[in-house]
Structure 1
């Protein structure tokens, strides 16, 4: 997810401390919210609450499969809970960032009011870090999040992470979040990318023996279909065909690999001398250097509309060529039906876009969900490698 993260630590005001201790706004209970949104039965089936589960440090090691909801092929959102008793949130499991945040009851801006907000007073396991309270600013490519550091029990599927650090937001950028389908973001990139401090949820699950293998995998559906899945601690081989092809991670911050070239009809059109690619489940598109992207737009006959949007003929899927990404010497074609997406009112646009800034360098691509819907992906922290295979 074009998520470039920066943390700025400052002292928290006495006013904020008093708000934490004595929130003035009365909120509906989590159960009522789930029932209103038609999510209660689904939640109770997936997360039957038992106080003993939050006290147990000896859960069985196994692969945990967390179902994800596909929102119009734009975002993939899963349910997690925080606190005791649990409060439920919809989050993006993001390989393009590491920090974890959800809204707090202290966030009274319009975007926060349209999402679930965590209430510390409703959780018996909530903790603040010792000493002065710490605030963090998470800066993403599409907007900023400001909040403070806290600790509580976090649950993904049947996995508990006790005393897990996260950011409780007190302000969220209206520009990107007011109509978002998710409440927060749970990062799965390397620890070096995190700026909020502490141990990431994935690393804590591994260190505490909650998962049997230090890896996770994604299966993303297309066409808005159900069945998208996050797998923690192992791989379900029925989600892909053939064999996994492994490629080493080149820089242990993002899930970054070497990209050999990009070609169309056997001719290299970009990344001529090799470049880098980041696999990012939080990004819905294919982002690349401006010159290379413009070249691809010309090849697929996409016409500039406004800003970074390029219009393309909806019927072009029948005759436009595949754009082939070569990774580890293996061809990974992206067909026209995948890189052409239909917007509102029947307009079709290209999924290739340029970077909004030069932070990642001039030779880096971000392969988002357009690519990852086609290829089942495995993220192996134990061996610092990524596995890819055609998704079924």
Structure 2
């Protein structure tokens, strides 16, 4: 019989020298093989024995705050020495911008603002920037500086300094937005932060993953360069992108009780961390909400809170897989506003699978293979 010795630091060496029969120690590979998972893991994480010796092989966790299940933001820094900002990590846009001392809008007055003169690594560009979102817009100029996200320092990163911001942004908890979509979507052809991470070899894999907590709980995180198995159950379903602009995929249909209720014959959707709800065309959303017994009150679809347990599960069918949402996931209960569905009309043929969906399904955004991975969130 072979033996392996385990040493530890202790006052009495005799308390630390322990003999363990080698035959009783099961390797990680053996455990995975027993569960039939070895080939899947080996394909997903190719063997690289030098990775631990190379600082370029990195995985960076960026914690996010859950703001009442309506928005998720994390703290980054810009400049030398660093100036801190709360930003929404938005897979539905591609630019990074923060408020600046050049901004006179009320939205800038109650948020952190960037001071160029306080950073020794700041470089002014002056290229104008104009971005329009679903709930507002901003204008400003582009500049360059070191941006640190999840402990990764991205040097010479282009970012926007706001000069005007829409009134809605005055009520945002976050100061700015960090876009994580494709470069083609970036205003003024600004290189997105994650593209620079990949270009500089700062991440282990050319992907990032997102876990969103529910009910204002802590634990939300975006992981750059890796996938944390502690955030999901089962296996990841990989879905090819239909367009490399947003994180856009093809949805086969949306069903309830086995019947198609929307997206009949297929539709296009984007997986968007920067949108709170699930958004779709007016006709489809009106029909879905009507089927659920919701009434339209000033644009919000309200349901009887006592009816939630009787409401059906909805299945968003993608690439041959059903991603099911129970009523507890798609109805938001508020002490002040009652119960409202998480389905909103957007007036476009493009659907948005926002936070209502992502809270239920851990999402991986794979730039190496241009795919989205979805797995049941823990």
Structure 1: distance between partners of 2:189 and 2:238? 30
Residue deviations 1:253-287 (CA, integer Å, cap 9, x gap): 00000100000000111111111111000000010
Distance 1:341 1:190, change over 3 A: same
Instruction: Identify, as 1 or 2, the structure richer in strand.
Output: 2
Which ranges of structure 2 fall in alignment gaps of 5 or more residues? Answer: 1-53
Instruction: Please state if 1:383 is matched with 2:375.
Output: no
| Aligned residue runs from structure 1 range 367-382, under 5 A | 367-382=353-368
The answer as to whether partners of 1:99 and 1:196 remain within 8 angstroms in 2 is: no
In the alignment, which residue of structure 1 is the partner of 2:19? none
Tell me the SS of whatever aligns to 1:134: strand
Instruction: Please state if 1:302 is matched with 2:294.
Output: yes
Instruction: Please state if 1:240 is matched with 2:232.
Output: yes
Residue deviations 1:5-61 (CA, integer Å, cap 9, x gap): xxxxxxxxxxxxxxxxxxxxxxxxxxxxxxxxxxxxxxxxxxxxxxxxxxxxx8442
Residue 236 of structure 1, CA deviation:
0.8
Structure 2: distance between partners of 1:105 and 1:314? 46
In the alignment, which residue of structure 1 is the partner of 2:78? 82
Q: Report how many aligned residue pairs link the two structures.
A: 325
TM-score by length of 2: 0.84
Residue deviations 1:184-228 (CA, integer Å, cap 9, x gap): 000000111112223211011111110010000000000000000
Structure 1: distance between partners of 2:70 and 2:335? 13
Instruction: Please state if 1:311 is matched with 2:302.
Output: yes
Tell me the SS of whatever aligns to 1:283: coil
In the alignment, which residue of structure 2 is the partner of 1:14? none
Q: Which has the higher contact order (CA 8 A, sep 6+)?
A: 1
Residue 344 of structure 1, CA deviation:
4.9
TM-score by length of 1: 0.81
In the alignment, which residue of structure 2 is the partner of 1:127? 123
| Aligned residue runs from structure 1 range 243-282, under 5 A | 243-282=235-274
Superposed structure 1 runs of 4+ greater than 6 Å apart: none
Tell me the SS of whatever aligns to 1:196: helix
Residue 315 of structure 1, CA deviation:
1.9
Tell me the SS of whatever aligns to 1:108: coil
The answer as to whether partners of 1:167 and 1:196 remain within 8 angstroms in 2 is: no
Q: CA RMSD in A?
A: 1.1
Tell me the SS of whatever aligns to 2:289: helix
In the alignment, which residue of structure 1 is the partner of 2:182? 190
In the alignment, which residue of structure 1 is the partner of 2:216? 224
The answer as to whether partners of 1:261 and 1:272 remain within 8 angstroms in 2 is: yes
| Aligned residue runs from structure 1 range 145-164, under 5 A | 145-164=138-157
Structure 2: distance between partners of 1:198 and 1:173? 21
| Aligned residue runs from structure 1 range 53-64, under 5 A | 59-64=55-60
The answer as to whether partners of 1:193 and 1:254 remain within 8 angstroms in 2 is: yes
